[in-house]
Amino acid sequence: MSWTNEQLAALVEPDRAHRKAYTDPEIFDLEMERIFENTWIYMGHESQVKKPGDYYLAQVGRQPMVMVRDSKGDIQVMYNRCPHRGAQLCTARKGNTGRHFYCSYHAWTFHLDGKLESMPAKREYDGTNLDFENPEFHMSRPPQVDNYRGFWFVNLSEGGADLLTHLGESTSAFDQLIDRAPGKETEIVGDCFRMVQQSNWKIFLENQLDASHPGVTHESTGKAAQQLEAKMRADGEEPPLELSFLTDFARLGHDGWTKFGTVGYRNGHSSLEGYMGLRPDDPDTNEYVRRMYEAYGEEKAEEILGTNIHHMLVYPCNSVQPPLQQLRTIRPLAHDKTLTEIWHFRLKDAPETIYRRSLAYYYLVNSPSTLINADDLFNWWKCQHGLTSSASEWVSFHRKAGHDEVRDGNTYSAPDSMSELPLRHMMHAWRDYMTADAGAGS
């Protein structure tokens, strides 16, 4: 069927969403057109392309893109496509292309800023319509490219809000990834974890701020970690702080997550308050705090460290966990298939032990090989398959519906409650993007 705006709007109600929003391939195509190719989508971080010629590939919507550091040290983002016959110029996910891009099909070469440099038998183009100055024969650029503090985004549409307006309050997550560094810089470490999830991209986003599931889905892992913790203490050993990343799932139980507030911001972004004891009174943390005081002064350092964000969703593609130095981005592939990239950052001049602590979370919770991720992936797969059933046409987001509080344009969950506010909030933003010519918040 050809979906009208009225029909798309009817798929989202105040406390529920229709299953077709997750299962219909035609709706997925519209999502690519109206969301992922019509607003700001994350490309990558500047530290992924440190030297001239360094490049990184990513898919924005359905478009293959390349981010490169040019010969002047500036970052360029272009379509990964030769304008001659359409061959992709780079195929390795990352690397260094040297002083130019070279097409392996017909040897056209391009400067690192995308301008056509040369091709074989150049004289044979004399008297034709090929003009070296015509952008048609250079590597194409997306309509809008911008960055916020070194985090680069692409917008494949001409109009809409600028990047800063689109990000709005969600900039605090990126600020935290930088400002929590005593050296006031951050960088990606190593390569990312990449996973293809057999489920719709919205299911992944909903799960990140779904406080109802951790004590249920990950209870068995938490209890196993508690048993290990007890054994270590019985053997006279003090369990490492990192083990609490797992024991918390059992320790807090099914209803222990009610104290963690959620907020819905403009343009579909949302956040979950912090819940992990990442500032214990131990020598490593105290040394880190001392360095922060030295770098910022006590008042400013406490303001940075006191920011209460465990998880920020930057709609429609990012999940950022600043206290744990993690960033995830999604690249939807089909209505039932989603690529996820998970990156880990190092805070400049922070103690090595603080870096290792966050790295442990990266491996214990976010790695493709963990029980935590396996539990989530399996549930998302079950949701995707279950939603193909016509047993019920609707997905429920009723928990604490009607109790949200709106203040200054943002929506806050009721205090001391486990609310599905972020899930409702994101689907309302989805409806707005899908039914507006220029996207939500533009």
Task: Provide the CATH number for the domain around residue 407.
Answer: 3.90.380.10
What's the pLDDT at 278? 66
User: Three-class SS of residue 40?
Assistant: strand
335 and 426 inside one domain? yes
Least confident of 252-261, 290-299, 381-390: 252-261
* pLDDT tens, position by position, 230-242: 999 999 999 988 8
Instruction: Give the DSSP H or E segment for 344.
Output: strand 337-347
Question: Domain check: are 144 and 165 in the same one?
Answer: no
Structure tokens at 228: 């290990």
Tens-digit pLDDT profile for residues 334-379: 999 999 999 999 999 999 999 999 999 999 999 988 999 999 999 9
Note whether residue 248 is domain-resident.
Answer: no
In a domain, 202, yes or no: yes
Distance CA 145, CA 324 (A): 28
Tokens describing residue 362: 């990266």
Q: Which DSSP string corresponds to 121-141?
A: TGGGGTTSS--TT-GGGSPP-
Return the closest-CA partner of residue 318 out of 58, 2, 17, 15.
58
Average confidence (pLDDT) over 175-185 = 97
The arithmetic mean of pLDDT across residues 149-174, rounded, is 97
Helix (H) or strand (E) holding 196: strand 193-197
By CB atoms closer than 10 A (0-12, 13-18, 19+), residue 349 is: middle
Question: pLDDT tens-digit profile of 65-116?
Answer: 999 999 999 999 999 999 999 999 999 999 999 999 999 999 999 999 999 9
Compute the distance between CA of residue 299 and CA of residue 398 in angstroms, rounded to an integer: 41
High-pLDDT (> 70) share of the chain, %: 97
Contact (Cβ atoms closer than 8 angstroms) between residue 269 and residue 169: yes
pLDDT interval class at 275 (50, 70, 90): low
Mean pLDDT score, 262-281:
85
Q: Is residue 18 part of a domain?
A: no
What is the number of structural domains in the chain?
Answer: 2
How much is the pLDDT for 247? 92
For residues 260-276, give the mean pLDDT: 89
What is the pLDDT of the chain when averaged over all its residues? 94
- Return the bridge partners of 342, or none: 193, 328
Q: Do 173 and 317 belong together in one domain? A: yes
d(CA 142, CA 66): 11
* Confidence (pLDDT) at 170: 98
In a domain, 249, yes or no: no
Pair 284, 414 in one domain = yes
- Taking every pair of C-alpha atoms in the chain, what is the biggest distance, in angstroms? 86
In angstroms, the CA 52 to CA 70 distance is 5
Report yes or no on 10 lying in a domain.
no
Residues 166 and 278 in one domain: yes
In a domain, 82, yes or no: yes
Closest residue by Cα to residue 51 from 66, 25, 71, 34: 71
Provide CB contacts within 8 A for 184, sequence distance 6+.
178, 295, 348
Q: Is the pLDDT of residue 277 over 60?
A: no
Task: Determine the structural domain holding residue 118 and report its residue range.
Answer: 41-148
Q: By 3-state DSSP, what share of the chain in percent is helix, strand and coil, each rounded to 5?
A: 35, 25, 40
Averaged pLDDT for residues 4-11: 98
Identify whether 294 is part of a domain: yes
pTM for the full predicted model: 0.94
CATH number at residue 59: 2.102.10.10
How remote is the C-alpha of 16 from its chain's centroid? 24
Average pLDDT over residues 124-140: 91
Task: Report the C-alpha gap between 268 and 170 in whole angstroms.
Answer: 10
Residue 101 near residue 112 (C-beta atoms within 8 A): yes
